Amino acid sequence: MDSLTPTPTHHPEFQAPLDVTDGQHSALIDDTLALLNDGVPSKENEYGLREIDRWTEVLRATEKPGLAKIIQALVTLREQLTDGNSEAHDVAESLATLGAETSKVADEATAGYGPPLAQLGKLLIKMGSTLSR
Which whole-number Å values give the CA distances from 15 to 11, 19, 61, 66, 68, in the listed order?
12, 11, 11, 23, 20
Rounded to a whole number, what is the largest CA-CA distance in the chain?
A: 71
φ, ψ of residue 14 in degrees (nearest 5): -75, 130
pLDDT tens-digit map of 85-117: 889 899 999 999 999 999 999 888 877 888 899
pTM of the entire structure? Answer: 0.74
Structure confidence at residue 119 (pLDDT):
93
In the chain, % of residues over pLDDT 90? 30
Q: What is the mean pLDDT of the chain?
A: 80
